[in-house]
Structure 1
Amino acid sequence: MRGDFIVPAQNPRLWTYSLPAALLLLAPFNILASLGMDIYLPIVPAMPGILATTPEVVQLTLTLYMIMLGVGQILFGPLSDRFGRRPILFGGALAFAATSFALATTTSAWLFVLLRLVQATGAAAMLVAVFATVRDVYAERPESAVIYSLLNAMLAFVPALGPIAGALIASALGWRAIFLALGIPAFIMLVFVLPKWHETRQIRTQTSRAGFGTVLRSPNFWTYTLAFGTAMGSFFVFFSTAPRVLIDRASFSELGFSFAFATVALSMIATTRFAKSFVARWGVPGSVLRGMLVLLLSAGLLGLGEIFLPPSFWSFILPMWLAAVGIVFTTAVTANGALQEFSEMAGTAVALHFCVQSLIVGVIGTGVVIGLGGDTAWPLTAYTAGMAAFTLASLFWLTSRQRR
């Protein structure tokens, strides 16, 4: 039994801001949520010494953040439908700002891990509120394509610029300043938007979890969500291992590492510009097939580099340029492939798509980093090759099943 109910929102006001003004309200929370991961990367190798702990514990500060960004959608999506976008945004921003300040003051390892989890919870709430508001306001308006593309473009630039900013801040002001650089803008924006961000939710709908089973029984959902997890997980394992490979073993400076890391993000951005025409030609299954094959080739080059070359830009970063192409070809179509059967329950399907993907990435990705050692290319090689092969097998099974 579904048990849906609809309650009108109390006197919702129209969102009458111009597109530039709306972006000024929306974009900072969108950027800060992602920046909480990327700005921190240059100091990851130093954190075991700072916190008097092991690299495996520090890895949790990346893993839990990544998982919560996905799992949080399952929690905050329904809450924003029931209580509104505004309280979810303000609660999330307040939690993000407060824990960012707290992270700058602690050197207790497990308190640091806990605070990173709460920080990610706040980030997830901010993302849900931002995109739910965009959906409320722009779903039936021509500006929707513009604002979605602008918000996604901003997120694409964060992995390129975030580590550089983190390295510069840490070099000039110390590692604590990185978390102040997250908390201060979040608090300022919270105060700035408080009188301006009015509620946009028009109705309140709550659906039981019965709908989740429909999605989870879909072969299409699992195959393309697995492909999404393979692509995003390759990038996750890359940024989990890159600081230790390049800073600790290849003797890159924190700033040099950040610029090297940025080239991979820029490769993804460049590929995005011409991927649309290829995706239109290949279709969803063809794009995933080619994306997985490119990732397999990248994994092979990473493995050969680890065996025959010392850690360097050429042995570790250059193959990731190729991986970036495979990641873009895959992620450009996986949402359409996974959600094509669920137009009438898109919200539930989207939430599960991102939640399952984040669990795949967090659990399996972290497992290979800890199990194979985060200071070599082997975790990245194993994850990318193993998951790409598994995804290809699933894709071939799905294709043959649909031909019967």
Structure 2
Amino acid sequence: MILSTLMAFASISTDVYLPALPAMGAALHASDGAVELTISGYLVGFSLGQLLWGPIGDRYGRRLPIAVGLALFAIGAAGCALSTSAPMLIGWRALQAVGACASVVLARAMVRDLYTGHRAAQMMSTLMTVMAVAPLVGPSLGSLIMYVASWRAIFWTLVGVGLATLVALNWLPETLPHERRNPTPLGRALRGYGELLTDRRVLGYAGAGGFFYGAMFAYIAGTPFAYITYYHVPPPHYGLLFGGGIVGIMVTNQINSRIVKRFGSDRLLKAGTLCAAVAGVVLGLNAKTAWGGLSGLVIPLFLFLSATGFIVANSIAGALARAPGRAGAVSALVGSIHYGTGIIGSALVGLFADGTPWPMAAIIAAMSVGSLLCALLFLPAVTGKPT
């Protein structure tokens, strides 16, 4: 449960304040695009911060860096609550992200410390099913807080979540004993990322997950305005629509954990990217032609999100298996690529925002096709039974 909470910090930090985006823009006298950049600013810190925490976790263990990251997360959330302008909010969101990513990248490494092969993919899917509760209840919780208080109270709530998780860390054992730690100096370890990037399969796993994350964060940045502003969906109902997609993610993660031993993680990864690409293209066509209205967005978005269960866990487990002695660094590199592409996806939604769902849909379609191409071009063809 603690590992699931740590892995959920990316979702906790973003999903809970999605219903407040329009209200934040009005309170800070900022445009829709500027407010959407608070998500991009968060992703910048989250992406770059992972590259630092990975080697630190390989050298000093998992628990201490996670504790430091949780403290930074709480400080950043408090700064967001006290912000008086959009640029200030973006800056504090970046600091919050640097702290949050320590929990995510090192929780993934802890899974690799304990499990290998299809068992690692199973455990990753199980953890993601549990952590999916955060985005499931996040928008609804944010809407409730907005109803009884204001958007600033959302960030004070995140301060409490960070501090509570820091206390819970006392019950989490260290999974990387001293004899298995990597004594490589941090500077050299950081330069080792270039070596990892020469591995074609690491690029395939990271690229498939990365493009999918770009589409996912285009969805996160674009749906509040597509649903609430364009189609006039009440904020509480937005939470229900958002939660429906999370249910799809939870179901497919459970399916993945049950069948990955039989079919293999690479085969399921490729199937997931194909489903996401088809759903993304249909979404783009519907948004361009306005076919189906709100349902024309909701249905393909649900199918797109449901592919998460076959893409994320398998792509992470596959990459971690390539360098088990550097699990922290591999986890950091993959996570940085994932969220780096997420930066592009969410930023493009803000950059091309035109008051319609089309920019969001077009970006999701393009990124989903990119995910499929990475899986097909960089990973070998799957033959025979999985090992």
Q: Partners of 2:10 and 2:276 in 1: how far apart?
A: 27
The residue aligned with 1:171 is 147
Instruction: Give 1:235 deviation, angstroms.
Output: 1.6
Q: Partners of 2:169 and 2:347 in 1: how far apart?
A: 41
Q: Are 2:120 and 2:317, in contact at CA under 8 Å, matched by a contact in 1?
A: no
Q: Are 1:230 and 1:384, in contact at CA under 8 Å, matched by a contact in 2?
A: no
Q: Which consecutive unaligned segments of at least 5 residues does structure 2 have?
A: none
The residue aligned with 1:39 is 16
The DSSP-based 3-state class of the residue aligned with 1:153 is helix
RMSD of aligned alpha carbons = 3.4
The DSSP-based 3-state class of the residue aligned with 1:124 is helix
Counterpart among 222, 235, 247 of residue 266 in structure 1: 247
Amino acid at match of 1:164: S
Q: Are 1:302 and 1:377, in contact at CA under 8 Å, matched by a contact in 2?
A: no
Q: Partners of 2:331 and 2:366 in 1: how far apart?
A: 25
Structure with more contact order per residue of length (Cα contacts < 8 Å, sep ≥ 6): 2
Distance 1:96 1:397, change over 3 A: closer
Q: Are 2:216 and 2:364, in contact at CA under 8 Å, matched by a contact in 1?
A: no
Counterpart among 356, 372, 383 of residue 376 in structure 1: 356
Moved more, 279-288 or 226-235: 279-288
The residue aligned with 1:61 is 38
The residue aligned with 2:161 is 185
State percent identity of aligned pairs. 28
For each residue in 1:292-313, what CA deviation from the matched residue of structure 2 results, as whole angstroms up to 9, or x when unmatched?
Answer: 3322321232223223437854
Distance 1:51 1:147, change over 3 A: same
Counterpart among 96, 99, 102 of residue 122 in structure 1: 99
Q: Are 1:73 and 1:355, in contact at CA under 8 Å, matched by a contact in 2?
A: yes
Distance 1:225 1:113, change over 3 A: same
Residue 323 (structure 2) pairs with residue 342 (structure 1): yes
Q: Partners of 2:257 and 2:37 in 1: how far apart?
A: 35
Q: Are 1:167 and 1:258, in contact at CA under 8 Å, matched by a contact in 2?
A: yes
Tell which structure's C-alpha radius of gyration is larger. 1
The residue aligned with 1:316 is 297
Moved more, 294-303 or 163-172: 294-303
Q: Partners of 1:158 and 1:374 in 2: how far apart?
A: 30
Q: Are 2:270 and 2:376, in contact at CA under 8 Å, matched by a contact in 1?
A: no
Amino acid at match of 2:148: A
Q: Partners of 2:372 and 2:24 in 1: how far apart?
A: 37
TM-score (norm 1): 0.80
The residue aligned with 1:160 is 136
The residue aligned with 2:65 is 88
Instruction: Give 1:33 deviation, angstroms.
Output: 4.9
Amino acid at match of 1:100: A
Residue 86 (structure 2) pairs with residue 105 (structure 1): no
Q: Which consecutive unaligned segments of at least 5 residues does structure 1 have?
A: 1-22
Moved more, 51-60 or 231-240: 51-60
Q: Are 1:232 and 1:327, in contact at CA under 8 Å, matched by a contact in 2?
A: no
Q: Partners of 2:60 and 2:274 in 1: how far apart?
A: 45
Q: Are 2:34 and 2:350, in contact at CA under 8 Å, matched by a contact in 1?
A: no
The DSSP-based 3-state class of the residue aligned with 1:368 is helix
The residue aligned with 2:343 is 362
Aligned length: 375
TM-score (norm 2): 0.83
Q: Partners of 2:109 and 2:321 in 1: how far apart?
A: 20
Instruction: Give 1:28 deviation, angstroms.
Output: 5.0
